[in-house]
Amino acid sequence: MNDPTQPRTALPAGQPLPTNRSRRPAALFFCLAAFAAGALVPATYARCDKIELSPSGGDDTDAIRSAIELAGPDGTVELRAGTFRISESIIVRHSLTIKGAGRNQTTVIADASLAPGGIYPNISEEERTSIEFFKAVPAVFIFHVAENRFGRYGLRDLTLGVSGLTEPHFDGLEGDGSERLFALVLVVGSDGFWHNSAGESPTDIGEIDAEHRVLSTVRFRCEDVFFDGKNRDPGAPDIFRGFFMVGGIVFSHYENGEEVEDGLPKPVNGNVSFRKCRFADIAEGGIFASSVIGRGDPYWTFGPEAVEGAVVVRECDFERAPYAVLLYDLSDTRVVVEHCPIRESDVGVYISNDFNAEVFAWIGYPETAMCTLLVRDSVFRDGGFADVWVEEFQRGHTVDARIRDCQFRLEGDGEVGIRFDGTQGALVRDCEFSGPGEAGIYALDAEGLRLDDNNFCDLEPSNPEGTTVVVDGTTTIVSHHNDCLDF
């Protein structure tokens, strides 16, 4: 007979979980429950700290949802080895870690064969005015920050993928009617549509009011996950994005009775990290984080769980993603990309500041606070436009960029290794540039650009001047000990 005071172990297949609360162990954090294959959790059973689940061979959507509910806040759902198939997005509404048995052992597939009309519900025009939009966007996992505006999430040791088409939905590249998976992982703040309590967006009232300034906080840790964008149905499109995080969004507002498109993202106070992950065959961005704000930015309002703004990517592999790491409009945020091979990406690492401050100055969108960028010990090859691109729209010093110990292997006439737009004091040190390309570095209005101990000798520049570095506008360069540098 089982001792009710001891932690639970795995249950035999087909045995239901007990519903008697009196048999609950005294300390929840020692509670270990497990599902039989495909078994559902009775609503009356107490929440536990850790839930294990095996694939059923059929539709695992409801079983995974039940496991998440039973695990409760700060719990863990362990997906055992095998392939889990889902027909709808799995929405996580509380802090949680989802863990597999290994990247090559546990797979979660959004499978259209389980949904006659395609994966996920369609989106109506009415849903554009509520958080329901984000609940309907097709993704494998949607982490939705709760009303307390704080979420702590983990994802590790598994593969995410898709097979087949979704029902029609809005897509940033294809517009309405897209049938491709929007993202493998979507993280969205508590206010998916950037509204105040009166239901008004900043563009509705022409300003960012006190309610609009309150941000959600997200901590997200991702380790050893394969974001597999290749559709397993050969006739269906690959996914749009691998990982996407945003605080919310304003799609449009009305002026003189006519709808005007905005596309204004709400910022999010975020600290996210990726380690030993792989991103491949993705239509747009491998990692796309929009408007990440650190707690040191004085303009915004944060909760008690506010975090240092950070996007850290280490030992991750990117292949065939037009934008490997895509970071828009950061403020008071630390960005690190190191020990990463990046292949066949039009842009390997992109970071921009003050785009919203320029385009949405009419609502008083603030300028960004200083950010730091470190790209180190990474290899870029077979790119298309710029392997690293740093862009400051207001031409102010808001990105402290450091690029060190990297290899840039160019493959085409239009490609550059590094592009700087409007930066100040950026540093490139101990990097190697080789192959045929436009130039090793292109710099536009980049003041005080420092080039130290770089090697351009194996570069075959195709720009009209034949120089290894192309300068434009107000660019000034300070150089030390570079081989074959000319500009």
In the numeric block, the tokens 């200083």 are attached to 370
Question: What is the DSSP annotation of 350-408?
Answer: EEEESHHHHHTGGGTPPPPPPEEEEEES-EEES-SSEEEEEEETT-SS-EEEEEES-EE
Six-digit token string for 295? 């707690």
Angle at Cα 412 formed by Cα 408 and Cα 416, nearest 5°? 45
Task: Tally Cβ neighbours within 10 Å of residue 154.
Answer: 16
Q: What are phi and psi of 21, to 5 degrees?
A: -65, -25
pLDDT in tens, the chain (487 residues): 333 333 333 333 332 232 222 222 222 222 333 333 344 443 334 566 889 999 999 999 999 999 999 998 999 999 999 999 999 889 898 999 999 999 999 999 999 998 777 776 544 454 444 445 554 578 999 999 987 799 999 999 999 999 998 877 777 667 777 888 889 999 998 877 788 999 899 999 999 999 999 999 999 999 999 999 999 999 898 999 999 999 988 876 666 667 767 688 999 999 999 999 999 999 999 999 999 999 999 999 999 999 999 999 999 999 999 999 999 999 999 999 999 999 999 999 999 998 899 889 999 999 999 999 999 999 999 999 999 999 998 767 789 999 999 999 998 878 999 999 999 999 999 999 999 999 999 999 999 999 999 999 999 999 999 999 999 999 999 999 999 999 9
pTM of the full predicted structure?
0.89
Six-digit token string for 360? 């949405």
| DSSP three-state, residue 272 | strand
Task: Tally Cβ neighbours within 10 Å of residue 131.
Answer: 17
Residue 128, pLDDT score: 45
Angle at Cα 48 formed by Cα 46 and Cα 53, nearest 5°? 110
CA atoms within 13 A on the CB side of 147: 0
Say how far residue 478 (Cα) sits from the centre of its chain.
Answer: 35
The DSSP letter of residue 210 is T
Residue 192, pLDDT score: 76
Q: What whole-number distance in Å separates Cα of residue 21 and Cα of residue 360?
A: 54
Q: What whole-number distance in Å separates Cα of residue 20 and Cα of residue 38?
A: 21
Q: What are phi and psi of 366, to 5 degrees?
A: -80, 155
Q: What whole-number distance in Å separates Cα of residue 478 and Cα of residue 451?
A: 6
Task: Tally Cβ neighbours within 10 Å of residue 362.
Answer: 10
Q: What is the dihedral of CA 190, 195, 199, 205, to 10 degrees?
A: 170
For 145-180, what is each residue's pLDDT tens digit? 987 799 999 999 999 999 998 877 777 667 777 888
Q: What whole-number distance in Å separates Cα of residue 447 and Cα of residue 102?
A: 47
Q: What are phi and psi of 132, to 5 degrees?
A: -55, -25
Q: What whole-number distance in Å separates Cα of residue 267 and Cα of residue 249?
A: 9
H helical segments located in 164-211 = 202-205
